[in-house]
Homo-oligomer: A and B are copies of this chain.
């Protein structure tokens, strides 16, 4: 069935939101939360980085029972590498939220994103928690404020919604730099009023994440704070599970692409398919090698039809042999799709100008056909520009 994604902030039965400024870094929104009137079933996936932030450690404890009722997020400071005191801070924040909402501490999932290696300004957060009861609301402006409050170097909010039967799913994400999620992603929160159990939600979310957030890279750097969570309060009753998964996957891919498109300094979204691989692993390793190659990314930025850099990057996957005579690379889509391969070099038939034109677009579609087998993968990323350097050479200072 055709799923209709809607890019709008839409109220979800039983859920409240807030987003406000508590002064962590500047006067932009930096503190936000989600609250459900009733206990929710959950799914959650976290970063594989071996140096996870304190909120990840506490969050994993809190989802052991498969239940949650609130999410609390601050941006501008990731609460990572802050030792036991950072963990105590994350626990204390959950406790403050729980007291305000009159729920158990472990019903709260904490998240933090921003600079690594600095203690949270707990005085600001404690003060920010004093008015939580009044802060929460279910209007679209409450939801919008939440979406903005979790942003760091993002240039725009990332959100999507969908209706399936009587149920609605809303997804809100952030992410711009330090993006190569691995078995997880940057921050992304889904809420739904569909009735669906934790036993179903967890594997569904995992499959969706694997085909979306785990297939993007902005800069090959895996964050210490990556978190995707879904809360389902069941208020709208049961839902077609297959349809629900299809919708969640499409929403996840949409948000993953939005994160890639808004990669730090990016001017172009790249969708790269690798097909004809001899194994699934070869397809993914090759796709990631090309997507993360600084020389490929700068060539795309410059609209330079330098296909040799693709050849180089494909050849970096040392464990698989590729026959260059079977290799073909396609640029563009539909009628505006042109190929290049080694045979064409010789008779000077490479449509360099046409490929360069395609690379001028803000959405670039590339397919690499290895000619080795039947496996394929699709990944998303962005170009590498001077702006990425500027943003990251002066982040904390």
- Interface stretch among A4-12, A64-72, A157-165, A388-396? A388-396
Residues of chain B with a CB closer than 8 A to A118's CB: 308, 345
Are A306 and B396 in contact (CB-based, < 8 A)?
Answer: yes
Binds B, one of A45-53, A189-197, A206-214: A45-53
Given the contacts A302-B394, A304-B396, A386-B386, A117 and B311 also touching, CB distance less than 8 Å: yes
User: In the complex, which residues of chain B have a beta carbon less than 8 angstroms from the beta carbon of A362?
Assistant: none
Residue of B nearest to A48 (CB): B318
Instruction: Please tell me if the beta carbons of A306 and B395 are within 8 angstroms of each other in the complex.
Output: yes
| Chain B residues, CB < 8 A from A321 | 50
Q: Mark A209-235, 1 if CB is under 8 A from B, else 0.
A: 000000000011111100000000000
* Residues A49 and B312 in contact in the complex (CB < 8 Å), given A117-B307, A220-B294: yes
Contact between B50 and A315, CB atoms less than 8 A apart: yes
Query: By the criterion of a CB under 8 Å from any partner CB, how many residues of chain A are at the interface?
Result: 69
What B residues does A304 contact at CB under 8 A?
Answer: 393-397
Query: A325 contacts which chain B residues (CB < 8 A)?
Result: 83
A204 within 8 A of B: no
Across the interface, which residues of B come within 8 angstroms of A299, CB to CB? Answer: 392-393, 395
Asked if B389 and A308 make an inter-chain contact with CB atoms under 8 angstroms apart, the answer reads no
At the interface, yes or no: A82 with Cβ under 8 Å from chain B? yes
Given A295-B221, A320-B50, A393-B302, A308 and B342 contact (CB-CB distance below 8 Å): no
CA distance A220 to B317 in the complex (A): 12
Q: Give the chain B neighbours of A392 by CB distance below 8 A.
A: 294-295, 298-299, 302
Asked if B309 contacts A116 (CB within 8 A), the reply is yes
Beta-carbon contact of A51 and B311 below 8 Å: yes
A385 within 8 A of B: yes
Complex: how many Å from CA A255 to CA B236?
Answer: 68
Whole-angstrom distance between the Cβ of A80 and the nearest chain B Cβ: 6
Please report the C-alpha to C-alpha distance between residue A317 and residue B396 in the assembled complex, in whole angstroms.
Answer: 24
Say yes or no: is A13 at the interface (Cβ < 8 Å to chain B).
Answer: no
Residue contact B49 to A315, C-beta cutoff 8 Å? yes
How far is A313 from B224 in the complex, measured between Cα atoms in Å?
Answer: 9
A350 and chain B: residue at smallest CB distance: B117
Q: Give residues of chain A (346-361) contacting chain B, Cβ–Cβ below 8 Å.
A: 346, 356
Q: Are B222 and A295 in contact (CB under 8 A)?
A: no
Contact A322 B51, beta carbon cutoff 8 Å? yes
Answer whether residue A81 sits at the interface, using C-beta atoms and an 8 A cutoff. Answer: yes
> Could you tell me which residues of chain A, from 23 to 60, have a CB within 8 Å of some CB in chain B?
48-52
Contact A324 B81 (CB under 8 A): yes
Q: Cβ of B308 and Cβ of A81 under 8 Å apart?
A: yes
CA distance A191 to B224 in the complex (A): 48
The answer to whether the Cβ of A110 comes within 8 Å of any Cβ in the partner chain is: no
B302 touches A116 (CB 8 A): no
Q: Which residues of B contact A388 (CB under 8 A)?
A: 294, 298, 389
- In contact, A116 and B219 (Cβ under 8 angstroms): no
Within 8 A of B (CB), among A255-314: 292-295, 298-299, 301-302, 304-309, 311-314
